[in-house]
Amino acid sequence: MNESRTPEDEPQLTPSAALGNATEVDAKARRAARWPAWLWLAMAVAMTVHLIGSPLMPDGWPRTVVEFLPLIFAVCGIVYSALQRAESKLLIRLVWPVTGVFVVLVLAAVLLREFVLPDGSVPGIVITGLLPAIPCVYGAWRVLAE
């Protein structure tokens, strides 16, 4: 019952069919890479709204905890997206640098707001709110433009 296959039994793969298969696999990988790009855009908007709106909260440790919670959720989302199997080469190259710069800029924004900028400084609030969105928007733009 152990039948061996002969080359005549195998369907022949033409060069054009091989190219079509490779193109299809590449398209699937690019489609799989789009959802982390949309996640980055959502993080950029949510973090900007959060950092600009957080000065309305009372001072003290609750405000600091609330400022770091979105950062923790964002990093978990990025790490989860980095562990996915089907990804584009561009996403693989961008996910850790975007994550690292995002984390550093959020920490810098929170520390600048807490220790450097005067309370109620509207330009400082807007700048520190927009700063962490830069790597997310850049990464999403690169992946979605591919």
- Segment 108-125 shows an average pLDDT of 86
**Which phi-psi region, left, alpha or beta, contains residue 14 (left: φ > 0; alpha: ψ -120 to 50)?**
beta
Residue 99 has pLDDT above 70, yes or no: yes
Residues above pLDDT 70, as percent of the chain: 83
What is the distance between the alpha carbons of residues 75 and 62, in angstroms, rounded to a whole number? 20
Higher-pLDDT residue of 81 and 97 is: 97
If you average pLDDT over every residue of the chain, what do you get? 79
Which of helix, strand or coil describes residue 120?
coil
Question: What percent of the chain is modeled with pLDDT above 90?
Answer: 12
pLDDT at 141 over 80: yes
Q: Identify the helix (H) or strand (E) that includes residue 74.
A: helix 61-82
Range 57-86 average pLDDT: 71
